[in-house]
Amino acid sequence: MNILITICARGGSKGIPGKNIKPLCGRPLIAYTIDTARQFAAQYPGTDIALSTDSDEIRHVAHTCGLDSDYTRPESLAGDTVGKIDAIADIVRYSETQYGKRYDYVLDMDVTSPLRNLADLNAAFDLLQADAQAVNLFSVSPAGRSPYFNMVERNENGYYDKVKSVGDVLARQAAPKVYDLNASFYFYRREFFDAGYKGAITDRSLIYEVPHLCFDLDHPIDFEIISYLMEHHKLDFAL
C-alpha cells in the first residue's frame, strides 16, 4: 500500500503573519505536524511525506525539523483564493512522477490545526478503509452552534430566520447533530483526485469526530490560547 502525506504551508498569511513557522512552546508550529506525519509514516513502508510551499523560509524551517523538499508550489496555486484541493493534486502528481509510483491514499495534514495524534490518524484511516464506497474522510469536532437552532441568515424579505429548518426544533439538544470541520487532517483515496472533486465535502465523504480538544489557529488569540494550554498541561489528550 502506497501512501503520500502532504503538508501544505504557503507563505504570506494575512491573519497571523508567518503562522506556519511561528514558535509554539519553543518549536516552530510546522514541527508538530511533521512529527505526527513521521509517526504515521513509520507504520507503512513506502509512505512518502511531501511539503507543498511557495516559501524558501518555510522550506528551510521544515528542513531543520527533518523534512526536505525540492518541490515549489506554483504561483498559480499559492494565492489565498486558490482551493487547497488543486494544490494537493499538484503535489500528488509531482510525487508520483518523482518516486515512480501511484499512491493508494493521500493524507493531508494542516499545519495550523496541530491538535491531533497518532491514535486519531489510525482510527480515522481504519474508518475510510472499512468503507469501500467512500472517497475521503475529514476530521471534525462537535459544533458550538446549530443551523437548526441558533444560527440565522438574512431572508429575501430582509428579515432573519434559522439557516435550516426541520420540524419544530425548540432546543439545541433536539436538533440534528452537526459538526465543525476542524481542518486538522483529511484522508483521500487516490480516485478522489481522478474524479475531479474541487472540495473536501463530497457525496461520498466520511467524518472522524476528534474525541478531544481540536481547533484551527486562525487568529492571533488562538496562539495565545494553545500556548497557555500546552505550557500549563491543560490539553485533554497526549499530543
| Domain match, 151 and 190 both | no
The pLDDT value given to residue 227: 95
* Helix H or strand E encompassing 227: helix 220-231
Side-chain half-sphere CA neighbours of 132 within 13 A:
0
Residues 128 and 47 in one domain: yes
73 & 31 share domain:
yes
pLDDT in tens, 18-46: 899 999 999 999 999 999 999 999 999 98
The reply to whether 239 falls in a domain is no
pLDDT at 239 (0 to 100): 87
Range of the domain at 55: 3-141+179-231
Supply the CATH number for residue 31's domain: 3.90.550.10
Residues 134 and 216 in one domain: yes
Number of domains forming the structure of the chain = 2
pLDDT attached to residue 64: 96
The predicted-structure confidence for 48-63, as pLDDT tens digits, reads as follows: 999 999 899 999 999 9
Residue 195: how many CB atoms within 10 A of its CB? Answer: 11
Residue 237 lies in a domain: no
Helix (H, G, I), strand (E, B) or coil at 156: coil
* pLDDT value, residue 81: 63
185 plus 109 within the same structural domain? yes
